[in-house]
Structure 1
Amino acid sequence: MIPIRALFVASRLWFGLITLVLLFVAAYAFPILFPLVKVAFVVFMVLIGVDFWLLFRTTNYPSGSAFFARREVPERLSNGDENPLTIYLENRYSFNARVEVIDEIPFQFQRRDVLFQAQLKPHETQAIRYELRPTRRGEYSFGAVNVFVLSPLGLLKRRYQFEQGKLVAVYPSFLQMRQFELLAATNRLTEVGVKRIRRIGHSMEFEQVRPYSTGDDVRTINWKATSRRSDSQGASLMINAFQDERSQPVYCLIDKGRVMQSPFEGLTLLDYAINASLVLSNIALMKQDRAGVLTFSDHIGQLLPAERRTGQMLKILELLYRQKTRFLESDYESLYTSIRTHIRQRSLLLLFTNFETMSGMQRQLPYLRRLAKDHLLLVIFFENTELRALIDQPATDTEHVYMKTIGEKFSFEKKQIVKELGQYGIQTILTAPQNLTANTVNKYLELKARGMI
């Protein structure tokens, strides 16, 4: 039964049969062709038998494995990013093999076009590389790698199946996190939109007294240390060196309510907030600050206290992986109560949420003002990019004019929200989803440079 289940018919065989049928029909009109057609039919049947023998013979392959394939998938996939996958092929036949590879990818991708074709010489290996972009966190189940092998005759196909079933978890965008980490280590964050922030003044955390170097601020010269050094080792200016304030608590507050369910380029606003929180937490730890996470919706979700210990990023990654959007309105009163109870030290609070109207923001404003009294609060919400595209289009008729007017009203209301929050000392970021990570990192570095945290 195994050869029968693995046997498939190639299109060339169907074309051959159709040609033979037409020749038999023609032979009824021209009987002189009938003997030639019978010979062609016998030859065609012999070729089918030879093709079957070439594909299914096992004398040279005791294990019956005349072809081998293997799919290489990362242990976990990065949400919202292009993840590389590789299929390795090895032809163990003694003839040139033409292969068709169908990879059974998880149903979440809703793709039916993962078909690859290749030509392999005897005992040759090849690698097929392609990419997948998941848009939801969770477990993804890969099926089999189906390889259909054709001999040089190309009449039949033999199917091989490899990698039967594999579960892979899709985590928040750790590829984006690594990209920012690498660029930060090599001083190239400007490539992803992070601006160079000029430091305003000095922090008050003294680090050391060191010799003056060209470019140092002359206002930091320590004249007493300079005079002592001049007496003992010759004239040399000494300056006071200061370092950034360290170990400041930085919390990402992630709203999981219904306002974060809106989609953009396949991802929800919640997923954008989760990806940005992961990157920002990693940057904060690199800056020697402490990073923590709190999630909330109609009730408080999970709270990870801000720490700078080994393994903190892994804890943050696992916490963010499990978050799901809820479809109820978020309870800011519970958020304020939880923060007042569990976060006693003044901290930087980055609130990822979304306000569509002024009235929606004003309902939560009393709780935001109370948070801003005890902490440095940064409210991050989203610009409606579809609305912006509608506004930028020229009006062509009366209906379009009406739509543009309504769109401009909502867009203006978003700007009003920014001004209203600013009146109470609340920092804000109004950003498009695709620019969220870069804008959030920019604001964090700006606040740190200004000594506000």
Structure 2
Amino acid sequence: MTLTIRTVVVLVAVAAAALVVPGTVVGIAVAVLAGLVIADALLARSAPRVTRTLPAVLARGVGVPLAITVQSTGGGAVRVRQPLVPDLALDAREGDGGLTATLTPRRRGRHVLPAVALRARGPLGLGAWQHRAAGEQEVTVFPDLPSARRLALAVRDGRFRDPGVRTRGPVGLGTEFERVRDYLPDDDIRQVNWRATARAGRPMSNQHRVEQDQEIMVVLDVGRLMAAPLGDRTRCDEALDAATALALVADELGDRCGALAFDDEIRRRVRPGRASGTDVIRATFDLEPSERDSDYELAFRTVGGGKRALVVVLTDLLDEAAARALVDAVPVLTRRHAVLVASARDPDIESLVDGEDADLAAAATDLLAARSRAAAAVRGAGAQVLEATPGTLNAACVRAYLYAKSRRRL
């Protein structure tokens, strides 16, 4: 039980009245006030019924609505507060009679949302009682699922294109005719079915069947280099966003997708299978970089056998020395598979090149040159290299995947 501000104000008024009224009257007033406070607090002792509503699936950096509704049993006002852990953020944490706010996860993984804290006051507003309700709730935060789903939907609808680049045919995904559909703004002019257009009185396009049951393997480096920050995220976050997009697009195209995560040992593994995008996401969403160096040869030998596939290695190309182990291990894969090494660039370093500080500009130039030499060494070992800015690596990897299918490299 706790006192309210109203009770304190009344006590101050009684104390001031003691200067002009007899002490007996003041004593009676204090006793009456004490009785009212206890009775009021007892009416607020019963915990209100609380319902907390939150979506089951959350994505890092994407706000979702959180609603807390309260049905008070004591007849008084209820103050609601939602405690948080550092990996979750709320735009409003307290409210009277309930709470409606936006919850934004800052980090992937599993987090515990603490129980709701309540301060229920009695009808007179003199006594209050503290309660905890709704209990702890585990929330699961995935990588950027909305962006990955938008990419998969764009691929399915034939709307995924390189800006400013004309394509030859329907995204290059197969040549076997499937059906005639309405023309889309991004369709190549050679897709237009002129006879169907004349009959229907509106533009119609040919859609070709996608080549299915090909294989893509996503290899995730979760060694110490992947802990490097990129703005408000890490290289590991960028890699997992790309892996999520690739897995969902593979499902849309009917391909077999698998994943392997490693540092100096194999951390997670999902064998390639049809419609395995959800399995890949659930197996990798909570991965965090370790403090260990990555053993590329171990990972590549684990992947090496089996059906020819596109192997997308999501890692960091820091410099020649750091990439030496990667370069030495790439031939293990290139003998059988098409290999793409994908990495996120650091715009903060690139911005220093044209900065006013000459020393920082020189250091940044040297670092970027070392990164370019590392990429050249990887290409020399037989792999393709893809670098993209943060936030675009997922789309760039999907684009490379579609290009590999169009050239029948899988």
- Tell me the TM-score normalised to structure 1 length: 0.73
Give the percent of matched residue pairs that are identical in Structure 1 and Structure 2. 21
* Structure 1 residue 438, shift from structure 2 partner: 2.4
Q: Structure 1 431/205 Cα, relative in aligned 2: closer, same or farther at 3 Å? A: closer
Alignment map for 1:412-451 (pairs within 5 Å)? 412-422=369-379, 426-451=383-408
Matched, 1:368 2:334: no
Consecutive unaligned residues of structure 1, counting only runs of 5 or more, are: 1-6, 28-32, 59-63, 121-125, 222-238
Q: Structure 1 102/217 Cα, relative in aligned 2: closer, same or farther at 3 Å? A: closer
Q: Structure 1 112/292 Cα, relative in aligned 2: closer, same or farther at 3 Å? A: closer
> 1:270 is matched with which residue?
236
> 1:403 is matched with which residue?
360
Q: Structure 1 100/365 Cα, relative in aligned 2: closer, same or farther at 3 Å? A: same
* Structure 1 residue 252, shift from structure 2 partner: 0.5
Distance in 1, Cα, partners of 2:255 & 2:120? 57
> 2:320 is matched with which residue?
358
Residues 298, 331 of structure 1: 8 Å contact kept? yes
Q: Deviations over 1:380-399 (max 9, x none)?
A: 11222332344454x2xxxx
Distance in 2, Cα, partners of 1:52 & 1:296? 62
Distance in 2, Cα, partners of 1:211 & 1:69? 54
Distance in 1, Cα, partners of 2:72 & 2:192? 73
* Structure 1 residue 19, shift from structure 2 partner: 5.1
What is the count of residue pairs matched by the alignment?
Answer: 395
Alignment map for 1:83-102 (pairs within 5 Å)? 83-94=64-75, 97-102=76-81
Could you say which structure has the larger radius of gyration?
1
Of 204-213 and 423-432, more deviation after overlay is shown by 204-213
> 2:51 is matched with which residue?
70
> 1:286 is matched with which residue?
252
Q: Deviations over 1:181-208 (max 9, x none)?
A: 4555566668xxx758643368695534
Q: Deviations over 1:345-397 (max 9, x none)?
A: 2211111000211232244323224533432211111222332344454x2xx
Matched, 1:334 2:298: yes
Instruction: Choose between structure 1 and 2: higher helix proportion.
Output: 1
* Structure 1 residue 55, shift from structure 2 partner: 4.7
Residues 195, 442 of structure 1: 8 Å contact kept? no
* Structure 1 residue 249, shift from structure 2 partner: 0.6
Residues 85, 132 of structure 1: 8 Å contact kept? no
Residues 191, 207 of structure 2: 8 Å contact kept? no
Residues 47, 131 of structure 2: 8 Å contact kept? no
Distance in 2, Cα, partners of 1:450 & 1:247? 16
> 1:132 is matched with which residue?
104
Alignment map for 1:43-82 (pairs within 5 Å)? 43=29, 46-47=32-33, 49-50=35-36, 52-57=38-43, 65=46, 67-82=48-63
Distance in 2, Cα, partners of 1:88 & 1:443? 48
Distance in 2, Cα, partners of 1:219 & 1:373? 40
> 1:163 is matched with which residue?
134
> 2:201 is matched with which residue?
none
The correspondence for 1:386, drawn from 329, 348, 355, is 348
Q: Deviations over 1:5-56 (max 9, x none)?
A: xx122233334434554565xx3xxxxx244x97577557645644543453
Residues 91, 102 of structure 2: 8 Å contact kept? no
Matched, 1:316 2:310: no
Name the SS of the counterpart of 2:211 in structure 1.
coil
Residues 71, 85 of structure 1: 8 Å contact kept? yes
Residue type at the aligned position of 2:112? S
> 1:297 is matched with which residue?
263
After superposition, the CA RMSD in angstroms is 3.9
> 2:167 is matched with which residue?
199
Of 198-207 and 434-443, more deviation after overlay is shown by 198-207
Name the SS of the counterpart of 1:104 in structure 2.
coil
Distance in 2, Cα, partners of 1:376 & 1:412? 26
Distance in 1, Cα, partners of 2:80 & 2:159? 40
Residues 379, 429 of structure 1: 8 Å contact kept? yes
Distance in 1, Cα, partners of 2:72 & 2:12? 31
Residues 52, 69 of structure 2: 8 Å contact kept? yes
> 2:225 is matched with which residue?
259
* Structure 1 residue 179, shift from structure 2 partner: 4.3
Name the SS of the counterpart of 1:280 in structure 2.
helix
Residue type at the aligned position of 2:358? V
Q: Deviations over 1:218-250 (max 9, x none)?
A: 9999xxxxxxxxxxxxxxxxx998533322211
Q: Deviations over 1:414-436 (max 9, x none)?
A: 23434444456532222233332
* Structure 1 residue 317, shift from structure 2 partner: 2.5
Distance in 2, Cα, partners of 1:51 & 1:259? 61
> 2:214 is matched with which residue?
248
Residues 200, 450 of structure 1: 8 Å contact kept? no
Of 212-221 and 180-189, more deviation after overlay is shown by 212-221
